[in-house]
Structure 1
């Protein structure tokens, strides 16, 4: 891609936590001494975020990390609305670090709304106007590039975190600094909140409670109309959208998908009907996780597992066993 841009991103928890030592699908992976524990469990993530508020997820934010030739682009994780990096990157950050990537995560968009986020998702982020959050992403990417010496980064984001970077790519010069954007249940065309947004006063109520970014993510918002006008993608960036049929936040679920020549839209349930993960659980779901790894390194893609995966938690059928893939 750099050549292409030559002119120039509870007790129940223990029962469901999946201890998954991520397997290599690329030539460069972390050594056994450097490997990070991977728990595919949204519930375990909430406990961790409650105990370690504001901490970087495991495997992330080693500012001395030098990208390997096999993975020259550092990966920047972008959390969603009323979430933060500690909660959202709990499974993905260590998995990607084990794959040999330099991984970075940050908190953005804090300070608006009532601060009502997920339990354990303090400090709550992703609530500010999305245009302002895109400016923060721009600054963070510049810091990552300066620290690592890389030419570009790959971006992996959940919900708003999969959509907001498009503002950066389209209007803030990000297309020259990003190779791939991978979105997990991204709000690319907004949401009607299961039809509730069509009722008078509901969007305003949601905005007052959860922040300005909610207004920007309504299906008929001025922000999204401008973002999607004239083409939903920009040249030179590869886009992957990973979505679940059971998304109850970004509705209808098809509103996550993008239209463009450089887009790969993936539905988790295609070929795997037993997967029942939802909007929150997709960040911790092993099938979704493998699709992310494949999108970042398609030359070494592996078949994503197809296993039962319940909502919110994202755990799999082998939740009590170590993963020996």
Structure 2
């Protein structure tokens, strides 16, 4: 029995580690060692907004891939935005070993802040719009809420974000572990000391703990309202999300100022989409364009 329990706990910890190794990171706090900020890949700011589309769009991909995969993953969405006349700029931050948003979350949010400031100065605008997927929504929320970036953003469009009610079980499923007796989040809530143990034993995985409900980074983002005054929010989740679990609760932001939508409700006849494939879907691109014009 003890061995089974230990195995289950280890699996839960692994799942928690996998879950937030993709998201991103945070300022060194008492529950995490120093985490690298990671590198950035900035696009050339070579477009000009129009009267019809006055705000540049900053696209923040998720952590579900390497930088060598970004172009293929986002080709359809970025192409659709540009074809519709939007000044579209895809920014990648928190890059560690080629993986997006694998660095410290607050540091990644500051990278976003610096890029947006550069866009505003270069283009000569007061605000931008953000389209973020998965881990990209975490750094966006940190930027908007904690770093005070809301006055610089007109509209935040989130695709399968990771919000308050995630349990980490989806990442166990990805490892072949189904229906665990305890989820990674439940484990860390029951045994808070495990956070420092894991961080000390595997510093490269410490970023995973920044999205545990016990962490200071998580609490800075999710204690109190997520949505910030002056910013419009549009959120698209899927019931088939295999990573942001339980779905769609993990991706739901039910607050004033937020337009919340479920993919299957909007497109009941469409083929299934998942946590990652939703961002490359034609229906999703159409929904994003509709949100931008509403």
With the length of structure 1 as denominator, give the TM-score of the two structures. 0.64
1:226 aligns with 2:220: yes
Shift of 1:63: 2.1
Q: Which residue of 2 aligns with 1:239?
A: 233
What is the 5 A alignment of 1:199-210? Answer: 199=187, 204=198, 208=202
Shift of 1:216: 2.2
Aligned structure 1 segments of 4 or more residues deviating by more than 6 angstroms = 200-203
1:79–1:158 CA contact under 8 A, matched in 2: yes
2:265 alignment partner, SS class: coil
- The structure showing larger relative contact order (alpha-carbon pairs under 8 Å, at least 6 residues apart) is 2
Match of 1:140 among 115, 126, 129: 115
Q: Distance in 1 between matches of 2:52 and 2:251?
A: 30
Shift of 1:88: 4.2
Q: Distance in 2 between matches of 1:66 and 1:237?
A: 22
Q: Distance in 1 between matches of 2:205 and 2:64?
A: 9
List gaps (5 residues or longer) in structure 1: 1-53, 116-122, 299-325
Q: Which residue of 2 aligns with 1:259?
A: 254
Matched length:
231
Q: Distance in 2 between matches of 1:212 and 1:143?
A: 30
List gaps (5 residues or longer) in structure 2: 1-38, 170-181
Q: Which residue of 1 aligns with 2:36?
A: none
Match of 1:188 among 148, 156, 163: 163
2:145 alignment partner, SS class: helix
1:188–1:257 CA contact under 8 A, matched in 2: yes
With the length of structure 2 as denominator, give the TM-score of the two structures. 0.71
Taking a change above 3 Å as real, the CA distance of residues 191 and 212 of structure 1, as seen in their structure-2 partners, is farther
Q: Which has the higher helix share?
A: 2
1:189–1:255 CA contact under 8 A, matched in 2: yes
Query: Which segment drifts farther, 223-232 or 142-151?
Result: 223-232
1:108 aligns with 2:93: yes
Shift of 1:95: 0.9
1:163–1:183 CA contact under 8 A, matched in 2: no
Q: Which residue of 2 aligns with 1:297?
A: 293
CA RMSD, 1 decimal: 2.8
Q: Distance in 1 between matches of 2:121 and 2:167?
A: 40
Q: Distance in 2 between matches of 1:188 and 1:210?
A: 23
Match of 1:79 among 43, 56, 61: 61
Match of 2:76 among 91, 115, 132: 91
